[in-house]
Chains A and B, each alone.
Chain A
Amino acid sequence: MISYVLPEFLVMRDENRCIQCQVCVRQCANDVHYLDEKDGKVKADDAKCVNCQRCVTFCPTHALTIIPNPQEFKANANWTKKAITEVQKQAESGAVILTSMGNPQEYPIYWDKIVLNASQVTNPSIDPLREPMELKTYLGRKPDKLEFDEKGRLITKLTPQLVLNVPIMFSAMSFGSISLNACESLARAATELGIYYNTGEGGLHSSLYRYGKNTIAQVASGRFGVHANYLNAGAALEIKIGQGAKPGIGGHLPGEKVGAEVSATRMIPEGSDAISPAPHHDIYSIEDLRQLIYALKEATNYTKPVSVKIAAVHNVAAIASGIARAGADIIAIDGFRGGTGAAPLRIRDNVGIPIEMAIAAVDTRLKEEGIRHQVSVVAAGSIRNSADIIKAIALGADAVYIATSALIAIGCHMCQKCNTGKCNWGIATQDPQLVKRLNPNIGARRLVNLVTAWEHEIKEMLGGMGINSIESLRGNREMLRGVGLTQKELDILGIKAAGE
């Protein structure tokens, strides 16, 4: 069957610049570039190109540019190029379209419709270069009140907490979906930064146990790699109920990615598909969740906080309230822009709600029920920069999870082809040749740089608002104003319009 699908990208090679060195040929795992034996020239098969820009970056003479294929169909506002191409693809494959990373569609990005406050006259701004500016964050369950004895000594003992130097953590990415070097980059950076990274649902590779102090070990529906040592390896546990990129469905790691190391870590046979079911088959209701939370606490002797991660869906506020009451110490909420290593395109692009709305609704709901102060709330699902973080915290989050931005820091170029396992940047792959392209020392350095840069920016913005401690920003929606939002949207976000 001849394919009707046109190449998505065109590889433009400037013949005046190209020195025929074949770097691009060696760099491309998709076999786009090849040496044509007939005329001894490097050529390209555009149809295979995913626009990951590995070749563009490494070409010594900057001879390469990848452009979107300019070929258009007859103009049609309804039957867009994307809509037509997807029908063609499915007519040829008979299959679900698989993709990766987060929802790229043109839904509103509320972060970009929210602006921040700053002090003028009545309240001095604070200069973070001259005054202390505190970002330290404690995640975990808090009592309603502390008790003191008659001498004023503290009686209450706090349950275990996660202590973060900056309210940022690296979100769940499993070994299997990403490479060991990517995992190690995250683990080392988290350790250096005094924050945490999350193992994702793929267990913990034996070489990573030494980063346990800065590790959150995830337990998902497939229970891959879950055993007593694993549960006790990290500083906290996280039960993954759902993920923003694919709410309501499980995960699928194709057998090709299950090599010896992944197989040993996940405790599944080499080459077998790792399929995590859509629900946890021991959690069909909120009581069941409570049992699992306490089973994990028992298994770890109540030494670790337990987080529950859910995708932001329509009634996220009520669900979060149930999770808080079920005994979770931390609730992580993943918005519909959140990334993934593989997801059906229709699900990724159509299911779930924006994290901005979800966080605002959850914070308000928990506040109304008088339980917001008892649990920590973590926002995830496309935090792109430090301003997004400030806004997330002002809407009510205690901290944020970042994943896509962390991967971009270590080389990801957002080609959305993680599911193919051929990541040219050594991230979403298990191919040893590709994996070694990512040096964990350099990866960790880049991650530390990114978070440090954001930390500076957060301090600057906080100081501008006249705040010297991050806890005074939590849920402080007075610091936010909406631009170009409807009254309903403003109400849900709980903020005023600019000028009000």
Chain B
Amino acid sequence: MLREKYERVPSGCAVSGILDRSGRRFSGNDIIQSIALMRERSNGLGGGFAAYGIYPEYRDHYAFHMFYDDEQAREISERFLNEHFNIAEAGPIPTKKVSWIINEPMIWRYFVLPKEEKLTSSGLLSDEFVAQCVINLNKRIDGAFVVSSGKNMGAFKGVGYPEDIGEFYQLYNYEGYMWTAHGRFPTNTPGWWGGAHPFTLLDLSVVHNGELSSYGTNRRYLNEFGYECTMQTDTEVAAYLLDLFTRRQGMPLEIACKIMAPPMWDEIERMPDDERTLYTALRTVYGKALMNGPFSIIAAFNSGMVALNDRIKLRPLVAAEKGNVLYVSSEESAIIEICPKPDKIWTPRGGEPVIGMLEEVKA
């Protein structure tokens, strides 16, 4: 059987996310508790977390989280990293023995900045330079996998139930202003650590529940803009689309969401002129970026997060607010578990993004 990286695997899942818009940092306990409640929605073959604001002492460095299959992969990768970056700190990510978690790879972390001369000779902005390096590492070095590479954030994932993964990484020892989590139910894979969610690209992380029937179309579309979907996962598609629209094309986040889950043509026809022109243009130009089929995703980036459902809401998604804190999750119960009395709780309509931004960014 092909390793998951080379074969597309459908999966069902649970997702959860918490953001304190004020920027207050809190430990990983809440997110673990929330995702643990939805154990039914996972099958122990993948769990993971993205945490933002956890490395304030290195806030301007790119934090590389790496998986290595063996010592050799580590040596080659480190040679690559040394060549392209100044490494401020390196070391294994602390983990704790948990009986359910087996076959873990070597898990390392590096805080790095691109070497000035490399950056100059590449002619790229530093984000793009880092993104290229990540792609090269994943493609070229056998047995090495970049788990995350953003600033002041990190992904922690593996094969197991999410709460065990949280325990394994001791996420209660970290403090962040935003957390997302994923419990996975892949249908036919022995589980590969790299294949667990979140999927990341720089500071963008995506956790996703669903299966895209438009995968083939989306992938070919992204390919035209230089994205190669090597992981064969729908999550990768969602992440690249967001990256293309928001980072590379500089589009407002709401608009990007309306491309990925647009209103029906019927609805568009009933809109006032300006809106109708806008939505018609979006669907005409970006039709191949429509994500069809069931999904609920939570995408997070340093400045906030967005939760989005497919346009006919074939997967569950609930949102709630209490004070500065925004909660999104596959199930209401997973929110109530950690926030028994929210100020407001609602079920967003299909295709209606729930966007939460850090206050300092909003201002």
Chain A residues engaging chain B, CB cutoff 8 angstroms: 119, 122-124, 126, 131-132, 134, 136, 138, 142-143, 145-146, 148, 152-154, 156, 158, 161, 363, 367, 370-373, 394, 465-469, 471-479
1/0 per residue B117-138: CB within 8 Å of A? 0000000000000000000000
B78-93 interface mask toward A, CB cutoff 8 Å, 1 = contact, 0 = none? 0000000000000000
Question: Known contacts A122-B10, A123-B293; is A367 also within 8 Å of B223 by CB?
Answer: yes
Q: Is the CB of B278 within 8 A of A154?
A: yes
Q: Which residue of B lies closest to A374 (CB)?
A: B224
Known: A154-B278, A471-B287, A478-B216. 19 other contacts (CB 8 A): A122-B11, A122-B187, A123-B293, A134-B264, A134-B265, A138-B283, A146-B285, A148-B255, A152-B252, A158-B281, A370-B225, A467-B292, A469-B287, A469-B292, A472-B293, A475-B217, A476-B214, A477-B220, A478-B215
Q: Within 8 Å of chain A (Cβ to Cβ): is B143?
A: no
Given the complex, which residues of B lie within 8 Å of A142, measured CB to CB? 284-285
A367–B224 CB distance below 8 A: yes
Report B363 CB to chain A, min CB distance, Å. Answer: 16
Residue of B nearest to A394 (CB): B216
Encode contact with A along B299-316: 1 for CB under 8 Å, 0 otherwise.
Answer: 000000000000110100
Residue of A nearest to B186 (CB): A122
Q: How far is the CA of A474 from the CA of B217 in the complex (A)?
A: 6
Q: Closest B residue to A123 by CB, please name it.
A: B211
Q: Is B217 in contact with A472, judged by CB distance below 8 angstroms?
A: yes
B292 touches A138 (CB 8 A): no
Q: Shortest Cβ distance from A396 into chain B, in angstroms?
A: 8
Tell whether A476 pairs with B216 under 8 Å between CB atoms, given A131-B312, A468-B292. yes
Say yes or no: is B266 at the interface (Cβ < 8 Å to chain A).
Answer: yes
Residue among B11, B217, B281, B283 having the largest count of chain A Cβ atoms under 10 Å: B217
Query: Which of A154, A466, A472 is B290 in contact with, Cβ under 8 Å?
Result: A472
- Asked, given contacts A138-B284, A152-B254, A472-B213, whether A467 binds B224 with beta carbons under 8 Å apart, the answer is no
Which residues of B approach A to under 8 Å, CB–CB? Answer: 8, 10-12, 187, 210-211, 213-217, 220-221, 223-226, 249, 251-252, 254-255, 264-266, 274, 277-278, 281-288, 290, 292-294, 311-312, 314
| Cβ contact of B292, chosen from A145, A152, A472, cutoff 8 A | A472
A178 to B128, CA, bound (A): 58
Q: Let me know if B251 and A123 touch, CB within 8 A.
A: no
Q: How far is it, in angstroms, between the C-alpha of A419 and the C-alpha of B278 when the chains are bound?
A: 49
Contacts of B265 in A (CB 8 A): 134, 136
Does the CB pair A467–B213 fall under 8 Å?
yes
Question: In the complex, how many angstroms separate the beta carbon of A100 from the nearest chain B beta carbon?
Answer: 37
Output the least CB separation between A109 and chain B (Å). 23
Name the residue on B nearest A152 (C-beta).
B252
* 21 pairs, A vs B, C-beta closer than 8 Å: A123-B294, A124-B294, A126-B312, A134-B264, A145-B251, A146-B251, A154-B277, A154-B281, A158-B284, A363-B220, A372-B220, A373-B221, A467-B293, A468-B292, A468-B311, A471-B288, A472-B217, A475-B217, A476-B217, A477-B220, A479-B213
